[in-house]
Structure 1
């Protein structure tokens, strides 16, 4: 039986100053979300394990997630944060390499005002250093930053890369053309994967319907193929727009016509292979 893995979720001790991105219209997630909160949710939805992804840009966040993974077996891997622009990045990565559940890193590029941030020399030096320890890199961007991603993925042909949240396309407006063209181009690089996650939070929180996502999912499925797609809930952020079961069903219903092997891949095996869980 294949494991079902949630390849993208978060934990936090809610701090209104640090977590200012959780605005008042997201009151439902203005509280702590910890492994003991997620465990019964995963069990109720037949999910075997998860990958905890950073939400704060600090090494403290990385250590916090590693402690959660150490104490809870269902947390199979961690995507942490380290300052990839730092002059001492090689030393920091060597330090983190001892952590067996630390699989890779992410930077909140979507918050950077420079749409070409990914191509900065100091940042690319850090990404290049990831390969020494076989760490992955999660790409978190908005559609306006995809032209930089196109160049970025070509710079690192040996680096395991995954695009978070399908690069947050415009589900509300249905504006798909430029996003689709970029995603198809990026998918031509076989080392790049795509997380089918974070969809409902980019849609109309109250009114979304599965049909809103189908054209975008069709692009991802065609471009990346089922072997490079991974399920992620984006829990607890998803709770602003739907409970865990609805979020999971959105994808399982969409892929129900695929082969069993393809469905197992998207719902877990691809994450196991990509992150080496």
Structure 2
């Protein structure tokens, strides 16, 4: 039986780290949210392992996630943070973090940066080369239309770096549009070292009415471009709670994938993530 992996979920403890982006407008998720809240949801969905992904550009957030990983046997990987724009410091911190068996990659909240071209600054690309030298991965928060266009350049500049585009770069599901998003995703998919997450799609759709039918065209397009072996499911919980809940995201994603072969579904629902993040 193949492993089921949620390749994208978050925790935050507001006493252990600061999350300035977590504004009261986020309502139900603007509070400390930790592992005991997620555990029964994973069990109900039959999820074997998860990947905890950074929610702040800070060492405090990374250290907190690594602590949770030690405490919960269902955590298979942690995507943390180092200052990629300072390659020397990133190298020093990666030397430390790479010794931790759960630390598998890095992410930076580039959509919080005022400069939409932050990720292609020469210093950051140098930091990504340092990251690749440790055989660690990079989660690209490529929110369309500002960041997805940079994926091909990163893939070319750092060909030995495994890159995954978070949330299919937030396609315009609410508008039922494809257009430029589809063109940019196709360009990114031409590079074998670029993967993508079938995650966070519910919050790009109509929060109250979305179903598998809304997600399916975008998932189908991603499968056409990447193939199942470069796609991985993620819940984006607890952000997912802004448009439904864990159970709905899991059920509707499975409905959207129902027409695919067992092999394709196994890849998207676990196999790809296990390979990408080198999860034991």
C-alpha distance in structure 1 between counterparts of 2:233 and 2:225, whole Å? 16
Kept in 2, the 8 Å contact 1:118–1:149? The answer is: no
The residue that corresponds to 1:62 in the other structure is 62
Question: Map of 1:63-102 to 2, 5 A cutoff?
Answer: 63-86=63-86, 87-102=88-103
Query: C-alpha separation between the residues in 2 aligned to 1:129 and 1:18?
Result: 27
Aligned to 1:108: 109
Match of 1:135 in 2: 136
Distance in 2 of aligned mates of 1:99 and 1:46: 27
Partner of 2:181: 179
After superposition, the C-alpha distances for 1:175-233 in whole angstroms (9 at most, x for unaligned) are 31100001011101011111000011122211223222222222111001111110000
User: Residues 48-71 of structure 1, C-alpha deviation per residue, up to 9 Å, x if partnerless?
Assistant: 110000001101111100000011
Following superposition, the deviation at residue 88 of structure 1 comes to 2.2
Flag structure 2 segments of 5+ consecutive residues without an equivalent: none
Determine if the alignment matches structure 1 residue 50 to structure 2 residue 60: no
Structure 1 unpaired stretches of 5+? none
Following superposition, the deviation at residue 247 of structure 1 comes to 0.2
1:126 maps onto 2:127 in alignment? yes
> Shift of the alpha carbon at 1:152?
1.6
Report the secondary structure of 1:141's partner residue: coil
Match 1:261 to one of 260, 263, 272: 263
Contact 2:195 2:231 in 1 (8 A): yes
How far 1:20 moved relative to its partner? 4.1
The 1-side partners of 2:161 and 2:278 are apart by 14
Contact 1:14 1:31 in 2 (8 A): yes
Tell me the secondary structure at the aligned position of residue 22 of structure 1.
coil
Where does residue 12 of structure 1 map in the other structure? Answer: 12
Instruction: Provide the rounded CA distance (Å) in 2 between the counterparts of 1:107 and 1:88.
Output: 15
TM-score by length of 1: 0.95
Cα distance in 1 between the residues matched to 2:229 and 2:11: 28
User: 1:239 Cα shift?
Assistant: 0.6
Using the alignment, how far apart are the partners of 2:204 and 2:18 within structure 1? 22
- How much has 1:11 moved relative to structure 2? 0.6
Write the distance in 1 (CA, Å) between the matches of 2:85 and 2:21.
Answer: 23
Deviates more, 1:164-173 or 1:109-118: 109-118
